[in-house]
Amino acid sequence: MTEDKQHRQLRKAMQLRIHDALLGEVYTTPKPGLVDLHDNGAHRDMDVHTFERSTAAITPFLSRMFEQGYCARPYQEAGQPQDDCTEAERLFLSIRRTGIEAEQAMLRATGGVNTHKGMLFSMGIALAAYGNMLQVLPPAADGSSAAQEPSSSSCTHPLRAVPAESVLETAGRMTARILTAEFEQMQHSVPKTYGERLFRRFGERGIRGQAIEGFPILRYTALPAIRRYTAYALERTGGAALPPTLLNAVRLNTLLAVMAKLNDTNVLSRSNPETMLLLRQRAAKILAAGGAFREEGLSALSILNQECIRRNISPGGAADMLAVAILLHGLEQEIGDMEGDSNA
Sign of dihedral through CA atoms 46, 51, 56, 60? Answer: positive
Q: Phi first, then psi: what are they for 183, rounded to 5°?
A: -65, -40
Supply the pLDDT for residue 312. 96
Q: Is 144 part of a structural domain of the chain? A: no
Q: Please say if the pLDDT value at position 289 is more than 60.
A: yes
Q: pLDDT band at 287, cuts 50/70/90?
A: very high
What percent of the chain shows pLDDT beyond 70? Answer: 85
Q: Is 243 part of a structural domain of the chain? A: yes
Q: Is 142 part of a structural domain of the chain? A: no
Supply the pLDDT for residue 88. 94
Alpha-carbon gap, residue 226 to 253, rounded angstroms: 8
Rounded average pLDDT over 306-322? 97
Q: Is 99 part of a structural domain of the chain? A: yes
Cβ distance 287 to 279 under 8 Å? Answer: no
User: Is this structure's pTM higher than 0.85?
Assistant: yes
Closest by CA to 157, choosing from 190, 181, 135, 133, is 135
Supply the pLDDT for residue 189. 86
Q: pLDDT band at 3, cuts 50/70/90?
A: low
Q: Please say if the pLDDT value at position 73 is more than 80.
A: no
Our count of domains for the chain comes to 1
Residue 310 neighbours by CB under 8 Å, 6+ apart: none
Q: Phi first, then psi: what are they for 53, rounded to 5°?
A: -65, -45
Q: Is 302 part of a structural domain of the chain? A: yes
Q: What is the tens place of the pLDDT at every residue in 45-60?
A: 999 999 999 999 999 9
Q: Is 143 part of a structural domain of the chain? A: no
Phi-psi category of residue 137: left, alpha or beta, with phi > 0 → left and psi -120 to 50 → alpha: beta
Q: pLDDT band at 134, cuts 50/70/90?
A: confident
Residue 262 domain boundaries: 3-137+149-338
Residue 63 neighbours by CB under 8 Å, 6+ apart: 11, 14, 15, 18, 127
Sequence letter at residue 279? L
Please, what is the angle between helix 3-27 and helix 48-70, to 10°? 140
